[in-house]
Amino acid sequence: MARTQRKLIGKAISTSLIAFAVASIANAQTDAPATDTKPELGQPWPEHARNVSRSPDWDVYEFRLHGIKYLQFTRNGTIHAVIGLVDGVTFVVPMGVDAQNVTETTAPAPSAAQVVYRDASTTVTASTQSNGATAFLVQFCPQTGCSGPGFTSQTP
C-alpha cells in the first residue's frame, strides 16, 4: 500500500508542476523591463524576446516567468516547438507543428542534427526527418565533464 501511495503522490506532484507551467504560458513574458507586459510567447517574431539560436537557420526565442525558462523554436515564421526548462526538468508545451517530435535523451544526437540551442547544461538539436517534420532532441547534462555530439566540456 505504501508503494501505491508514493506513486500517487509522485504523480500528483508531477502533474501539479506541469499544470502550473502550462498555466503560466498564457502570461509568459520576456526578460524585458517590468513595464512591458505584452505576452509574446506563441508569436512567430516576438519583439522583446532574445534570440538565443546557435544556428543561422533557426530562431530560438527565450522567455522567462516564475523561474521557468521557455524556448520557442521558430523557422521562417513557423513555430515548430516550445519547451520549458525548470530545475533540471524539461517539458514540452503543446504548441508548434513539431511539438510531438520533441524527445529528451542522454544518447548522442544523430550526425545530421544541427545544434539550435545550447547553454551550460542543456543542448537542443534539430534534424529534418524523411517526412519533412523536424525532430528535436533535448540533452540535459547538469554535471561538469559532459561530452558527445552537441556538448562541450563544462567547467564549474
* 111 — pLDDT class (breaks 50, 70, 90): confident
Q: How many CB atoms lie within 10 A of CB 135?
A: 18
The contacts of residue 55 (CB under 8 Å, 6+ apart) are 114, 115, 116, 126
Q: In what order do the strands lie in the sheet with 68-75?
A: 50-51, 59-65, 68-75, 78-86, 89-93
Helix then strand then coil, % of the chain, to nearest 5: 15, 35, 45
pLDDT bracket for residue 62 (50, 70, 90): very high
Q: Give yes or no for residue 133 having a pLDDT over 70.
A: yes
- Alpha carbon distance 58, 66 (integer Å): 26
Residue pLDDT, tens place only, 93-105: 999 999 999 999 8
Q: Does the pLDDT of residue 17 top 50, yes or no?
A: no
What predicted TM-score, i.e. pTM, was given to this entire model?
0.69
3-state SS assignment for residue 122: strand
Q: How much is the mean pLDDT over the chain?
A: 77
CA torsion angle 137 79 142 3 (round to 10): -80
Of residues 1 and 106, more confidently modeled = 106
